[in-house]
């Protein structure tokens, strides 16, 4: 089966490279929302407003009050592998959500992207990139922060468009992304609006006063996001082992679920779906739950960035710990302790 002609090796052009990268970074509208909201958080935003239409297929707009992008930097923000967040010298010292400089060029390659921004001391400016074609920077009125508008996602890649689910399902996935990020940031206000047709739905998570206690703020935010029943059944978790800290809330076994939908895990503020953490959570409840029940918990693992590699997965959903055994032990012992104490309290209350 030898080819008659010698294959020719070609260097792909920038637009093709960006479309291929987009396939990994932006799977669906919710992944675009995740990238844009993470950018707003990285910019220090205190208020983030997300609008979507038709499940994000026709419109996603993220408005923030963060630091903004200087007019002269707008083309660079859209260039591949251009980022203000790392200098490339230490890939294990990452304190921001972003670091690859891939989200904006990817979105600009597969949709119609317009960024309007104003940095402190500068003027407002706008740039548009559509199907990989970048326009000029033009002046634009804006008081502060950044507005990123993404229209017609995947119009440039019709194959990907076909894989999208119903508007309802995509809108739900967007709401889930906002919920997850909102859990990790109780001091940031989030609004999600559906502006399709009549513009029906609107969800708001008000920012807690930054002077307050983080643990209380987190409890209030979880009540808003997951419902008061979760908040009322949740035990506070706080433990440290070898400079790795675990905080959050874990629900009583009586509040368990038939599936793992109510498990929210974060590493250094980043929502993750990590086998090690999920396994540790399951292990902690093993003595308290039957095998078909799943614990509900919101847990934050925080450690020095050097102790965890977040550069494993394009969508950054997986991480790798330097000391997985320590992380697992920390989770299992902290949760078991909290559950045993709660059980003890409950039985002594009953006893008298």
Residues that bind Mg ion (CB under 5 A): 39, 98, 103
Please tell me whether residue 338 adopts helix, strand or coil conformation: helix
Taking the C-alpha atoms of residue 97 and residue 270, their distance in angstroms, rounded to an integer, is: 7
Query: Whose Cβ is closer to ligand ADP: residue 148's or residue 217's?
Result: 148
Distance CA 198, CA 11 (A): 47
- Under DSSP, is residue 185 helix (H, G, I), strand (E, B) or coil? coil
The one of ligand ADP, Mg ion, none whose footprint includes residue 47, by CB under 5 to 8 A per kind, is: none
The least CB distance from residue 287 to ligand ADP, in Å, is 42
CA 99 – CA 267 distance, rounded (Å): 16
Choice between 108 and 253, CB closer to ligand ADP: 108
Q: For residue 323, give both structure tokens.
A: 């000391």
Closer residue to Mg ion, CB minimum distance, 106 or 233: 106
Residue 67's binding partner among ligand ADP, Mg ion, none (Cβ under 5 to 8 angstroms by kind) is ligand ADP
247 binds, among Mg ion, ligand ADP, none (CB under 5 to 8 A by kind): none
C-alpha distances in Å from residue 214, one per residue of 135, 150, 183, 188, 318: 43, 33, 12, 12, 26
Give least dist CB 148 to ligand ADP, A: 6
246 binds, among ligand ADP, Mg ion, none (CB under 5 to 8 A by kind): none
C-beta of 119 vs 246, nearer to Mg ion: 119
Instruction: Round to the nearest angstrom and report the end-to-end CA distance of the chain.
Output: 83
Q: How far is the CB of 332 from ligand ADP (least distance, A)?
A: 34
| Residue 350: CA count within 13 A, CB half-sphere | 6
Q: Within a 10 A sphere around the Cβ of 329, how many other Cβ atoms?
A: 16
To ligand ADP, the closest distance from the beta carbon of 105 in angstroms equals 6
245 binding partner (options Mg ion, ligand ADP, none; Cβ < 5 to 8 Å by kind): none
Cβ-count burial 9-42 (b if 16+ within 10 Å, e if not) = eeeeeeeebbbebbbebbbbbbbbbbbbbbbbbb
Cα 32 to chain centroid distance, Å, stands at 10
By C-beta, is 104 or 234 nearer to ligand ADP? 104
Between 26 and 218, CB nearer to Mg ion: 26
Q: Which is nearer to ligand ADP, 59 or 69 (CB)?
A: 69
Residue ranges binding ligand ADP (CB under 6 A): 35, 39-40, 43, 64, 66-69, 77, 83-85, 98-104, 146
Q: How far is the CB of 121 from ligand ADP (least distance, A)?
A: 14
| Smallest separation, CB 160 to ligand ADP (Å) | 19
For ligand ADP, the nearest residue by Cβ is 98
Quick one: what does residue 54 bind among Mg ion, ligand ADP, none, with the CB cut-off 5 to 8 Å set by partner type? none
Can you spell out the DSSP letters for 73-101?
Answer: GHHHHTSTT--SS--SS-TT---SS--SS
Q: How many CB atoms lie within 10 A of CB 121?
A: 7
Q: Minimal distance in Å, beta carbon 68 to ligand ADP? A: 6
Q: How far is CA 223 from CA 7, 91, 130, 232, in A?
A: 60, 36, 40, 8
Q: How far is the CB of 33 from ligand ADP (least distance, A)?
A: 13
Task: For Mg ion, give the closer residue by CB, 100 or 219.
Answer: 100
Residue 266, contacted partner among ligand ADP, Mg ion, none, CB below 5-8 A by kind: none
């Amino acid at each position: 089966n030898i080819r008659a002609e010698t294959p020719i090796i070609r260097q792909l052009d920038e637009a093709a490279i960006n479309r291929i990268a987009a396939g990994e970074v932006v799977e669906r509208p919710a992944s675009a929302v995740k990238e844009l909201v993470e950018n707003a958080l990285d910019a220090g935003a205190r208020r983030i407003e997300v609008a979507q239409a038709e499940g994000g297929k026709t419109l996603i707009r993220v408005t923030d009050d963060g630091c903004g992008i200087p007019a002269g930097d707008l083309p660079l923000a859209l260039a591949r592998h251009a980022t203000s967040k790392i200098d490339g010298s230490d890939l294990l010292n990452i304190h921001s959500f972003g670091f690859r400089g891939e989200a904006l060029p990817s979105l600009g390659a597969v949709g119609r992207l317009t960024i309007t921004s104003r940095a402190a001391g500068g003027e407002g400016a706008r740039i548009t990139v559509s199907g990989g074609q970048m326009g000029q920077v033009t002046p634009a009125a804006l008081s502060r922060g950044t507005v990123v508008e993404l229209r017609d996602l995947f119009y440039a890649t019709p194959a990907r468009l076909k894989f999208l689910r119903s508007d309802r399902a995509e809108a739900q996935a967007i709401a889930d992304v906002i919920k997850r990020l909102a859990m990790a940031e109780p001091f940031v206000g989030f609004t999600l609006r559906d502006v399709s047709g009549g513009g029906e739905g609107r969800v708001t998570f008000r920012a807690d006063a930054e002077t307050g206690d983080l643990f209380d703020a987190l409890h209030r935010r979880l009540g808003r996001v997951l419902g008061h029943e979760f908040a009322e059944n949740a035990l506070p978790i706080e433990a440290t082992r070898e400079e790795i800290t675990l905080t959050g809330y874990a629900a009583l076994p009586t509040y368990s679920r038939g599936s793992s939908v109510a498990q929210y895990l974060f590493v250094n503020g980043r929502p993750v779906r990590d086998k090690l953490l999920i396994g540790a959570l399951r292990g902690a409840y093993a003595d308290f739950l039957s095998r078909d029940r799943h614990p509900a918990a919101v847990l934050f693992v925080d450690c020095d960035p050097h102790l965890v590699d977040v550069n494993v997965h394009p969508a950054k959903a997986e991480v790798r710990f330097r000391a997985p055994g320590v992380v697992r032990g920390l989770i299992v012992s902290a949760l078991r302790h909290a559950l045993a104490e709660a059980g003890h309290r409950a039985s002594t209350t009953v006893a008298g």
